[in-house]
Amino acid sequence: MKYCFAAIVAAAMAGCASNTGIIPIGTDTYMVSRQAATGFSGSGNLKAEAFQEANAYCTGRGKSLQVVSTQEAQPPFVFGNYPKAEVQFMCLNAGDAELARPKLKPKADVSIEVKPAS
């Protein structure tokens, strides 16, 4: 009986996980995200799954994957802020100059505003 209950709880929790699927966000540019159902799992697997889905999407169209950016939810993982990974990417033709180098750039932790002297 307790195994049956555990299976039902696990299935219910898995049902709460979120996957956006592939969403167009610009010319040849897309986004996919994955979110865990609880705060007890890391975002590494979620990010890997998002990369796999993005790669399969591009490959299915005869194109190559070019990652534009990635983002992950930051702890603490409570009150609905569960592990989440988002990947923005482009599907490009082989030989496209955009494929020469990854576009990934770290996000700045600090921004500085410079005002002209008056």
Residue 72 is assigned to a structural domain of this protein? yes
What's the longest Cα–Cα distance across the chain?
77
> Which residue, 72, 66, 71, is CA-closest to 29?
66
The DSSP H or E segment spanning 11 is helix 2-15
Q: Mean per-residue pLDDT for 39-46?
A: 68
Residue 94 is assigned to a structural domain of this protein? yes
Residue 6 phi/psi, 5-degree rounding, is -60, -40
- pLDDT per position as a tens digit, 81-105: 778 888 999 999 988 888 876 666 5
Contact between 92 and 64 under an 8 Å Cβ cutoff? The reply is: yes
Residue 108 is assigned to a structural domain of this protein? no
What token pair was written down for 115?
A: 């005002």
Host domain of residue 39: 16-99
The answer to which of 4-8, 29-33, 41-45, 48-52 has the lowest mean pLDDT is: 4-8
> Which residue, 55, 56, 57, is CA-closest to 67?
55
Structural domain count of the chain? 1
> Which residue, 43, 93, 34, 38, is CA-closest to 66?
93
Q: Which residue has the higher pLDDT, 9 or 37?
A: 37
Q: Which residue has the higher pLDDT, 56 or 104?
A: 56
Per-residue pLDDT at 5: 43
- pLDDT per position as a tens digit, 4-36: 444 444 444 444 567 889 999 988 899 998 888
Residue 66 is assigned to a structural domain of this protein? yes
Give me the DSSP letters along 69-80: EEEEPPSP--TT
Strands 29-35 and 23-26, by their bridges, are: antiparallel
**Over pLDDT 90: what percentage of the chain?**
28
CA distance 106 to 25: 21
Residue 48 is assigned to a structural domain of this protein? yes
Q: Mean per-residue pLDDT for 42-48?
A: 76
CA 81, chain centre distance (Å): 15
> What does pTM read for this prediction?
0.66
Residue 68 is assigned to a structural domain of this protein? yes
Q: Mean per-residue pLDDT for 36-57?
A: 81
